[in-house]
Amino acid sequence: MAVPIALTIAGSDSSGGAGIQADLKTFSALGVYGASAIVALTAQNTRGVTAIHDAPPQFIAAQIDAVMEDLAVGAVKIGMVSRAESIETIADALVRHRVEKVVIDPVMIASSGARLLAGDAIEALRSRLAPLALLLTPNLPEAAALLDCDPAGSEEEMAEQGRALQRLGARAVLVKGGHADGPESVDVLIAPDGSASRITGPRLRTKNTHGTGCTVSSAIAAKLAQGAALDDAVRAARSYLAEALAAADGLSVGSGHGPVHHFVRWWSPDDC
């Protein structure tokens, strides 16, 4: 059998903990071959983002076309896209190549607090990308920004906001509760039929959360590329992230919000 392939369309993180780098690490850790289309270069580390250099839209399209015309891509993950023009280009490419399994992580703010999405790009994300998503994976602040409302304060409000985002056209929505409080971390998955389900795990206390959103969305894409059903893919990805997050403190990378340990199943810092 051919190896499953997933494509990430996102920005590059020079410190290696998020973006394209996190996505490719996640794909590899889960047994999926990773391809990439880079929409922006960022100068960043665990303390913050200092510069963003966007790729020209025509070059973004060229990268996607080159991959899709040759590789049997089973799923696509879309991460940081900072400009409306880039979003339009990506949406056109997804339609052109008839991509069905699309996971969109609407990255707006980095773990360090840096804003990564231009204001005029939010409407393009709502109107052009969201309707192409099999799954949209916002955290609480991102869901609120997309809906122009306050962040959800309860699981009921998370479900309501998930269904509101579903009405933008996404077939399913995963509202992530990592920014909430409490002993449990609760995500709410709105299935294509509108039903809501809770996905829970212990809340892990660590400052090393750099790349968590990128990691879980790319893990979902990896599982979809392997043929998993959506609910199974989300739960498997959530479990993988919990392992990577629990081992994050052992990496000791950087002085700010360090990365999760993408290869926790393969090696330990103690082995080095």
The answer to whether 213 is a known catalytic residue is yes
The answer to whether 153 is a known catalytic residue is no
Give counts: helices (H), strands (E), the chain: 8, 9
The dihedral sign for the CA sequence 13, 90, 136, 230 = negative
Catalytic hit among 19, 162, 177, 213: 213
Catalytic hit among 26, 79, 214, 215: 214
**What tokens were used for 149?**
């409302």
The answer to whether 34 is a known catalytic residue is no
Cα–Cα distance for residue pair 248/253, rounded to 1 Å: 9
DSSP for 85-119, written as a single string: HHHHHHHHHHHHTT---EEE----B-TTS-B-S-H
Cα–Cα distance for residue pair 132/93, rounded to 1 Å: 11
The answer to whether 113 is a known catalytic residue is no
Cα–Cα distance for residue pair 28/249, rounded to 1 Å: 21
Burial of 95 (0-12, 13-18, 19+ CB in 10 A): exposed
Catalytic hit among 16, 162, 211, 258: 211
Phi/psi region, residue 194 (left: phi>0; alpha: psi -120 to 50; beta: rest), is: left
Q: Name residue 212's amino acid.
A: T
The answer to whether 162 is a known catalytic residue is no
The answer to whether 209 is a known catalytic residue is yes
Catalytic hit among 77, 101, 176, 223: 176
DSSP class of 262: T
Catalytic hit among 26, 46, 137, 212: 212
Catalytic hit among 8, 26, 89, 209: 209
Catalytic residues: 176, 209, 211-214
